């Protein structure tokens, strides 16, 4: 008809759609989690909109998600009475991908099904996952508060385009019908669907309704009239974080993590706490097992999901954690913040500051606990997020020592590239009379390991941290000390080692004297290039090496500044 229009998918959307269909075949059932998750988000959004103007509820404030199957037709329909979409929103939300980092994500794809499905998992599968099991999808939606005439139908077979048309809809919200592929008809079976909902969506705080199971007909009563089947909730339907820890199983915690993080994998660990007293709030914090593909992008969404008195307020509330803990996912539910809280208010609110520092401590404690109880988990964490954590001492002075305790390094003690030694380990191994923690910074591990500056340390058996990450110079500049022991760059100034014997000191003096002429000559030749030339007894194999002045910028820092055009 005249009101129907066919539109093409945005290129990225088309690519993602194809990818979804091909890579997630072995993980079909997650589509249901995604669609129920969207329905629940839509209800959260409506609840939130109703805080400002409750006319959007159209006098109906009971929220449900309903799932219906039709075995004969081979369809599955998910209906919510959430916020719904206008025609423009349908085109925007179901025809394009607005997410930042989409291009980078698509570039990272390898064509290897296993690897790609991991990546898609991190990217977030979302609505298009419907096409894993369906060869046609129909969405009938109407924005709340718009009246029946605002109804819109979106239809697509998941190839190049979709059609959009007007169709009145009495009920607000969205109904999504999947026309199942022949080999996916098991998703039209109510028992199968029930069990998938239980598995993935039990924690959704809105009831997910299905028709109650058919009762067996008693013998002899085949002809009697049977009562019509009623809808019943299939899921637990209370917000998971409001339940007490002992009532929530690990499986439920994991499923909830996948709901809020859009991650495919299980989290590495979590921490669930109710805080009472001056401030009252609940926090449920998760450490992911894998870094998201866009962790280093500036505009990447980060932060916690914020609820106020169980009402959803916003995603990505950044104010509750410092940047160097941006990998943490989770939920905060506050009893103190006003329901009309905005990002601007969050920035100024004193309660938010206190919560932020408590939550930061909570995360650092969770990490310390993990480091203590499971070296393997901590090593996994460190290899994914260690680089981010190293930003901590610069950003968070108050927790400097705590963060320092969590850092892991490669050192001359093991002489391997693995960053698995803590500063506490180092301090324990310090020699008698050693009063500093030594480190060397280089472009890569091998250069660090073979640095001529290490010769004397190796000779004396003094351990040195081998640093080669981009952030290391920056980190050391801010860290400065650990356990009251200063951190010293072995490439800086004229190092004096406490363990130097009188004999060695005498040797150094003699050397300086004997070399006066030579040093003067080299100094003349290199005049414009170096500040000073010194003779040293420190080198056992190399003829010469460069050192940096005590207060000059480190070589690595210099490179970073140069790269930034300074």
* Interacting partner of 473 out of Mg ion, ligand ADP, none (Cβ under 5 to 8 A depending on kind): none
Told to check if 150 binds ligand ADP by CB under 6 A, we report no
Told to check if 158 binds ligand ADP by CB under 6 A, we report no
Query: Using the rule CB under 6 A, which residue among 16, 39, 69, 137 binds ligand ADP?
Result: 39
Tell the smallest beta-carbon distance from residue 441 to ligand ADP (Å).
41
Tell the smallest beta-carbon distance from residue 304 to Mg ion (Å).
17
Nearer to ligand ADP, 94 or 364 (CB): 94
State the Rg of the chain over Cα. Answer: 31
Q: Is 343 one of the annotated binding-site residues?
A: yes
Instruction: Give the integer Cα–Cα distance in Å for 233 and 510.
Output: 88
Nearest-CA neighbor of 155 among 119, 172, 181, 131? 131
Told to check if 132 binds ligand ADP by CB under 6 A, we report no
- The continuous run of DSSP H or E covering 122 comes out as helix 113-123
Q: Is 554 one of the annotated binding-site residues?
A: no
Written as six digits, the tokens of 522 are 């080299």
Kindly tell me the burial class for residue 458, based on how many C-beta atoms sit within 10 Å of its own C-beta (0-12, 13-18, 19 or more): middle
Told to check if 267 binds ligand ADP by CB under 6 A, we report no
Instruction: Give the integer Cα–Cα distance in Å for 471 and 480.
Output: 14
Alpha helices in 299-444 (DSSP H): 343-348, 350-373, 375-389, 392-395, 400-406, 423-428
Instruction: Give the integer Cα–Cα distance in Å for 508 and 185.
Output: 84
Instruction: Give the integer Cα–Cα distance in Å for 493 and 139.
Output: 70
Q: Is 295 one of the annotated binding-site residues?
A: no
Q: Is 493 one of the annotated binding-site residues?
A: no
Nearest-CA neighbor of 238 among 258, 256, 213? 256
Query: Using the rule CB under 5 A, which residue among 126, 267, 330, 393 binds Mg ion?
Result: 126
Told to check if 127 binds ligand ADP by CB under 6 A, we report yes
Exposure string for 341-359, b = 16+ CB within 10 A, e = fewer:
beeeebeebebbeebbeeb
Instruction: Give the integer Cα–Cα distance in Å for 42 and 519.
Output: 76
Torsions phi, psi for 86 (to 5 deg)? -80, 175
* Interacting partner of 386 out of ligand ADP, Mg ion, none (Cβ under 5 to 8 A depending on kind): none
Nearer to ligand ADP, 168 or 461 (CB): 168
CB-CB contact of 435 with 497 (8 Å): no
Instruction: Give the integer Cα–Cα distance in Å for 307 and 333.
Output: 4
Contacts of 505 (CB under 8 A, 6+ apart): none
Nearer to ligand ADP, 41 or 252 (CB): 41
Query: Using the rule CB under 6 A, which residue among 93, 118, 171, 508 binds ligand ADP?
Result: 93
Kindly tell me the burial class for residue 482, based on how many C-beta atoms sit within 10 Å of its own C-beta (0-12, 13-18, 19 or more): buried
What is the x/- site pattern for ligand ADP, positions 422-461, by CB under 6 A?
Answer: ----------------------------------------
CB-CB contact of 329 with 270 (8 Å): no
Instruction: Choose one: 81-89, 389-397, 398-406, 546-554; the region binding ligand ADP (CB under 6 A).
Output: 81-89
Told to check if 16 binds ligand ADP by CB under 6 A, we report no
Told to check if 126 binds ligand ADP by CB under 6 A, we report yes
Q: Is 501 one of the annotated binding-site residues?
A: no
Instruction: Give the integer Cα–Cα distance in Å for 429 and 493.
Output: 25
Instruction: Choose one: 125-133, 454-462, 467-475, 535-543; the region binding Mg ion (CB under 5 A).
Output: 125-133
Tell the smallest beta-carbon distance from residue 139 to Mg ion (Å).
13
Told to check if 393 binds ligand ADP by CB under 6 A, we report no
Told to check if 38 binds Mg ion by CB under 5 A, we report yes
Q: Is 350 one of the annotated binding-site residues?
A: no
Q: Is 61 one of the annotated binding-site residues?
A: no
* Interacting partner of 93 out of ligand ADP, Mg ion, none (Cβ under 5 to 8 A depending on kind): ligand ADP
* Interacting partner of 207 out of Mg ion, ligand ADP, none (Cβ under 5 to 8 A depending on kind): none
Q: Is 126 one of the annotated binding-site residues?
A: yes
Binding site for Mg ion (CB under 5 A): 38, 126
List interacting residues with ligand ADP (CB under 6 A). Answer: 34, 38-39, 41-42, 80, 82-85, 93-94, 124, 126-127, 174
- Which residues sit in the known binding site? 34, 38, 80, 85, 93, 99-101, 122-127, 174, 343
């Amino acid at each position: 008809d005249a009101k129907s229009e066919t539109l093409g998918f945005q290129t990225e959307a088309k690519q993602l759609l194809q990818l979804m269909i091909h890579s997630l075949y072995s993980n079909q059932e997650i589509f249901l989690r995604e669609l129920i998750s969207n329905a629940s988000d839509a209800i959260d959004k409506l609840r939130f909109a109703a805080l400002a103007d409750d006319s959007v509820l159209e006098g109906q404030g009971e929220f449900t998600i309903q799932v219906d199957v039709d075995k004969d037709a081979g369809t599955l329909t998910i209906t919510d009475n959430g916020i719904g979409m206008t025609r423009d929103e349908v085109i925007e939300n179901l025809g394009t991908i607005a997410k930042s980092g989409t291009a980078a994500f698509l570039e990272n794809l390898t064509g290897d099904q296993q690897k790609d499905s991991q990546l898609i998992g991190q990217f977030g599968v979302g609505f298009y996952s419907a096409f894993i099991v369906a060869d046609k999808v129909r969405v009938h939606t109407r924005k709340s508060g718009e009246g029946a005439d605002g109804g819109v139908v979106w239809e697509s077979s998941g190839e190049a385009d979709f059609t959009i048309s007007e169709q009145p809809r009495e009920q607000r919200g969205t109904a999504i019908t999947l026309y199942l592929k022949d080999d996916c008809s098991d998703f039209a079976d109510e028992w199968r669907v029930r069990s998938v909902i239980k598995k993935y969506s039990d924690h959704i705080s809105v009831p997910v309704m299905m028709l109650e199971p058919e009762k067996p007909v008693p013998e002899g009563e085949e002809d009697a009239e049977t009562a019509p089947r009623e809808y019943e909730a299939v899921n637990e339907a209370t917000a998971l974080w409001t339940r007490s820890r002992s009532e929530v199983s690990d499986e439920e915690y994991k499923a909830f993590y996948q709901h809020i993080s859009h991650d495919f994998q299980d989290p590495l660990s979590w921490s669930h706490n109710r805080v009472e007293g001056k401030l009252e709030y609940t926090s449920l914090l998760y450490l992911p097992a894998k870094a998201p593909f866009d962790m280093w992008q500036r505009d990447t969404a980060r932060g916690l999901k914020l609820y106020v008195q169980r009402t959803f307020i916003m995603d990505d509330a950044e104010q509750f954690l410092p940047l160097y803990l941006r990998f943490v996912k989770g939920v905060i539910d506050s009893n103190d913040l006003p329901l009309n809280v905005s990002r601007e208010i969050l920035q100024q609110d004193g309660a938010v500051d206190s919560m932020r520092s408590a939550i930061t401590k909570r995360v650092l404690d969770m990490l310390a606990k993990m480091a203590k109880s499971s070296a393997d988990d901590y090593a996994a964490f460190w290899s994914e997020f260690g680089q981010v954590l190293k930003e901590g001492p610069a950003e968070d002075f108050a927790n400097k020592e705590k963060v320092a305790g969590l850092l892991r390094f490669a050192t001359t003690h093991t002489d391997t590239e693995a960053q698995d030694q803590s500063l506490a380990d180092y301090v324990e191994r310090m020699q008698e009379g050693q009063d500093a923690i030594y480190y060397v910074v280089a472009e890569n591990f091998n250069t660090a390991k073979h640095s001529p500056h290490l010769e004397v340390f190796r000779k004396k058996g003094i351990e040195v941290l081998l640093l080669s990450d981009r952030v290391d110079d920056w980190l050391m500049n801010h860290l400065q000390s650990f356990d009251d022991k200063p951190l010293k760059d072995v490439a800086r100034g004229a190092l004096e080692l406490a363990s130097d014997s009188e004999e060695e000191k005498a040797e150094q003096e003699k050397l300086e004297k004997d070399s006066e002429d030579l040093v003067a000559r080299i100094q003349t030749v290199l005049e414009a290039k170096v500040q000073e030339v010194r003779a040293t007894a420190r080198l056992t194999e190399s003829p010469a090496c460069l050192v940096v002045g005590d207060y000059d910028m480190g070589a690595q820092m210099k490179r970073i500044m140069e790269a930034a055009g300074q």
